[in-house]
Structure 1
Amino acid sequence: MKSSRLLSILLLLQTRGRLTAAELAQELEVSVRTVYRDAEALAAAGVPLYGDAGHSGGYQLLAGYRTRLTGLSTGEAEALFLTGMPGPAAELGLGRALSAAQLKLRAALPAELREQADRMRLRFHLDAPGWYAEHEETPYLAQVADAVWRGRVIEVRYRRWKEPREVDRRLEPYGLVLKAGRWYLVAGAVGAEGAVGAAGAVGAAGAVGAAGARTYRVDQILSVRETAELAEPAQGFDLAGYWQRTQEEFHARLHPEEALVRLSPRGAARLTGVQARALAAGGTPDPDLPGWTRALLPIESQERAQEQFLSLGPDAEVLAPPPLRTRIRGALGIMAARYGADTP
């Protein structure tokens, strides 16, 4: 444990530069006193580490000092190779860079870890898109990614679902997100027209987030031109946090109603997505049927819920709302009448 922490201190100082004992303690989730002892241990081991006292002081490594990548555990080495996604990297124009980085990493690993990493790469493959998702061409992805990286405003021609179908937008790119094989651009719209949502992305009219950020599907960009104008997200903008909020808002809009349902173990196992999460978070044993579970589940609409719960057959029973229960009872009555007598 201590050796791993010492290596973490070394790598943090190597990558971030000067850090105070309090900052190191917060990063490593230890006490400041522990950081002091670890710094002494590193110095005793010959690491050129020194600290300055005072308000602007802190620990740092001697200029030019670099450590070799020898402290990876087996699991860490495997994880680094497992996170390599050649498909998305190639789409961003980074396919060769990823291959070169993996080659350098592999060369730096001890023989035992190299063998483990090679086994991981041979036996695991990441394929993010769903089974029925068709590949969508994103001819401007590399240009958009370059604008995101360089922090430049872009002018795009964008296709949306409502009239006028094609619109021109000036966008401040904040970041790119890969979701289920589809690329999304998170950006702030520049100018008066920026108040108009970019439909066809996340949400019915383009997801609105912190600092006026919206979500645009990159495959719906018809043309792009990078400008010399600098683009910077508002201070404190968090891309991962923004994306999580838009997903939560999207699911809330997609499932505006609820139904009280009792489920057999088999029926409960067949739930997916937001309903499976609702069952896991709020399901309780049913008082009338031992082994069954009762839960309040989000639904898109009563019509869609009727189809869904009928597909579960005898493994589900809707208890409320009464109109949904009546709809299902009516559908079952029609089905019973059709199957009640032999077909001539």
Structure 2
Amino acid sequence: MLALLMQLQVRGQLTARELAQRLEVNERTVQRDVEALVAAGVPVRSVRGPAGGYRLEGGYHTRLTGLGADEATALAFLGLHGVADDLGLTAMLDTVRTKVLASLTGEARQRAQRSAERFHLDPVRWYGRREPTPRLADLAAAVWRDRWIRIGYVRSGTLTERTVEPLGLTLAAGDWYLVALRDGQRRTYRASRIRTVELLDESVHRPAGFVLADTWTQSRQAMETEHALIEVTVRITTAALPRLRRLVAVTGQDRIDLTATGDDVELTIPFEGENWACTALLGLGPAVQVLAPATLRARMAAQTRAASARYES
């Protein structure tokens, strides 16, 4: 009955069928619950006609919306339905969202609903799907329970076994990562490369002052700046600038003006080594011309001639 009451409080007016679907009961159960609420003095009104249903009279409002301990775990994922689904929290998240909205005043609830109607967060990159993570639920269970795990991890095509202390899971650009301690050192593991997970009996000892978000930011910055960079000067069509921005080192992405107009622009940007610069720029085809350094320019020319020769033979 409380769930039915909160649905009416949050959504205004609902038909018996809509209530039955949301509460996963039959319409007869909805009718009995409504009758019980009316008998208890709750002003539920039955509206007849094609646009009818049930609604609360006179702005009736209850604050009997307390979250259970399990439901509280889903609070961090409000607005992130896909993420909650990955972790098996979808049903719980729906309940939490209803309870949170029901606890708000009328004006605050309207603002929250307007915000949800106007802003949406999609953490998955364009033209891509999330990597399969069949062991994600096992990893999440270990994180919740603060238990050591033994994982089978694939790196460079080789399966290795590692025993780690899981500290948290991070979703970055649509892909999941496990942050853990191994031999006292913090490590990051791509969840899609974890083939097996064995839950161990030993409890994780979380470092004092550990904050997952801060640790992830530090790890990401370290990874993005650990490579030796080379500066490359190019002439490139403005239409290819968005693709170029995704290829250069993160420290140089702000040098690329995505609003530039005209045919070509000349700019100098950093790459993570000459090998990557050559591979990345070749992928842009005739849209780009390398001007410097001379060694990369010569390498690009040789690669282009070699590719052309394959089509001439």
TM-score clears 0.5? yes
Whole-angstrom distance in 2 between the partners of 1:114 and 1:278: 42
For 2:95, the aligned partner's letter is A
Q: Structure 2: where are the runs of 5+ without partners?
A: 1-62, 64-74, 258-263
2:125 alignment partner in structure 1: 130
For 1:322, the aligned partner's letter is A
Whole-angstrom distance in 2 between the partners of 1:145 and 1:303: 35
1:36 alignment partner in structure 2: none
1:141 alignment partner in structure 2: 136
Shift of 1:304: 4.5
For residues 110-138 of structure 1, the C-alpha deviation after alignment (integer angstroms, 9 at most, x for no partner) is 32332333233344443322344344443
Choose the corresponding residue for 1:106, options 98, 101, 106. 101
For 1:107, the aligned partner's letter is A
Aligned-residue identity in percent: 33
Choose the corresponding residue for 2:186, options 213, 226, 242. 213
Shift of 1:325: 1.9
1:94 alignment partner in structure 2: 89
8 A Cα contact 1:183 1:219, kept in partner: yes
Aligned in 2, Cα 1:230/1:268: closer, same or farther, shift over 3 Å? same
Whole-angstrom distance in 2 between the partners of 1:296 and 1:137: 34
Shift of 1:159: 3.3
8 A Cα contact 2:147 2:199, kept in partner: yes
Whole-angstrom distance in 2 between the partners of 1:112 and 1:221: 47
Aligned in 2, Cα 1:237/1:266: closer, same or farther, shift over 3 Å? same
Q: Structure 1: where are the runs of 5+ without partners?
A: 1-67, 69-79, 191-210, 285-290
Shift of 1:187: 0.9
8 A Cα contact 2:240 2:284, kept in partner: no
Shift of 1:100: 1.6
Aligned in 2, Cα 1:130/1:104: closer, same or farther, shift over 3 Å? same
What is the aligned-residue RMSD (CA, Å)? 4.1
User: TM-score of the superposition, structure 2-length normalised?
Assistant: 0.59
| Counterpart check, 1:224 vs 2:197 | yes
For 2:213, the aligned partner's letter is A
2:49 alignment partner in structure 1: none
- Paired residues, what number? 235
Q: What secondary structure does 2:98 align onto? A: helix
8 A Cα contact 1:81 1:117, kept in partner: no
Whole-angstrom distance in 2 between the partners of 1:150 and 1:337: 60
Whole-angstrom distance in 2 between the partners of 1:280 and 1:223: 37
For residues 278-309 of structure 1, the C-alpha deviation after alignment (integer angstroms, 9 at most, x for no partner) is 4465579xxxxxx9453232245347436526
For 2:165, the aligned partner's letter is E
User: TM-score of the superposition, structure 1-length normalised?
Assistant: 0.54
Aligned in 2, Cα 1:120/1:132: closer, same or farther, shift over 3 Å? same
| Counterpart check, 1:325 vs 2:297 | yes
Q: What secondary structure does 1:325 align onto? A: helix
Whole-angstrom distance in 2 between the partners of 1:336 and 1:109: 66
Whole-angstrom distance in 2 between the partners of 1:155 and 1:136: 21
| Counterpart check, 1:246 vs 2:226 | no
For 1:273, the aligned partner's letter is R
Shift of 1:101: 1.7
| Counterpart check, 1:178 vs 2:159 | no
8 A Cα contact 1:159 1:220, kept in partner: yes
Q: What secondary structure does 2:244 align onto? A: coil
Whole-angstrom distance in 2 between the partners of 1:81 and 1:307: 38
